Amino acid sequence: MSAAAATHRLFRMDEMETLRRDRRLDPQLIRQLRNGLLKKFEPDDVVRERFPASDAVQLHALKLFQRMDSEIDGATKLLFETDSGLLIESVILRIASGRTTLCVSSQIGCAAACDFCATGKMGIAKNLATEEILDQVVQAGQILRAENRRLSNIVFMGMGEPLHNEANVTEAIQLLTAPDHFARSPSTVLVSTVGVPAAMLRLANAFPRLNLALSLHSADQATRETIIPLGKKASLTQLHDTIQEIQTIQDREFMIEYLMLRGVNDSAEDAKRLIDWIGDLRVHVNLIPYNTIEASPHLQASPRPTIESFADLLKASGLKTTVRYSLGHDIEAACGQLIRQENRQRAMQARRAAAEGDSHVGFLDVRQVIDGLES
Ligand X SMILES: C[S@@+](CC[C@H](N)C(=O)[O-])C[C@H]1O[C@@H](n2cnc3c(N)ncnc32)[C@H](O)[C@@H]1O
Measured between alpha carbons, how far is 162 from 110 in angstroms, rounded to an integer? Answer: 10
Q: Which is nearer to ligand X, 16 or 117 (CB)?
A: 117
Residues assigned a catalytic role: 89, 335
Q: Which is nearer to ligand SF4, 194 or 339 (CB)?
A: 194
Residue 13 half-sphere exposure, CB side, CA atoms within 13 Å? 5
C-beta of residue 77 within 8 angstroms of C-beta of residue 335: yes
Tell the smallest beta-carbon distance from residue 344 to ligand X (Å): 18
Site for ligand SF4 (CB under 6 A): how many residues?
11
Give the residue among 208, 287, 285 at the shortest CA–CA distance from 254: 285
Measured between alpha carbons, how far is 283 from 191 in angstroms, rounded to an integer? Answer: 15
Q: Is 110 in the site for ligand SF4 (CB under 6 A)?
A: yes
Q: Is 103 in the site for ligand SF4 (CB under 6 A)?
A: no
Q: Is 199 in the site for ligand X (CB under 6 A)?
A: no
Decide which of ligand X, ligand SF4, none touches 108; Cβ closer than 5 to 8 Å per partner kind: none
Residue nearest to ligand SF4 (CB): 120
Measured between alpha carbons, how far is 116 from 120 in angstroms, rounded to an integer? Answer: 8
Q: Is 117 in the site for ligand X (CB under 6 A)?
A: yes
Give Cβ neighbours of residue 172 (< 8 Å, ≥ 6 apart).
Answer: 130, 133, 134
Helix 197-206 vs helix 236-249: crossing angle, to nearest 10: 10
Q: Is 161 in the site for ligand SF4 (CB under 6 A)?
A: yes
Q: Is 192 in the site for ligand X (CB under 6 A)?
A: yes
Give strand pairing partners of 211: 190
Q: Is 337 in the site for ligand X (CB under 6 A)?
A: no
Q: Which is nearer to ligand SF4, 18 or 291 (CB)?
A: 291
Q: Is 193 in the site for ligand X (CB under 6 A)?
A: yes
Measured between alpha carbons, how far is 110 from 102 in angstroms, rounded to an integer? Answer: 20
Cα-based distances in Å from 206 to 173, 201, 243, 321, 358? 10, 9, 15, 28, 41
Q: Is 119 in the site for ligand SF4 (CB under 6 A)?
A: yes
Exactly one of 53, 68, 120, 327 binds ligand SF4 (CB under 6 A); that residue is: 120
SS3 content of the chain, % helix, strand, coil (to 5): 45, 20, 35
Q: Is 194 in the site for ligand SF4 (CB under 6 A)?
A: yes
Q: Is 112 in the site for ligand SF4 (CB under 6 A)?
A: yes
Residues of the shown chain interacting with ligand X in the complex, contacts defined by CB under 6 A: 116-117, 119, 157, 161, 192-194, 215, 257, 259, 288, 290-291, 293
**Residues within the interface to ligand SF4 (CB under 6 A):** 110, 112-114, 117, 119-120, 160-161, 194, 215
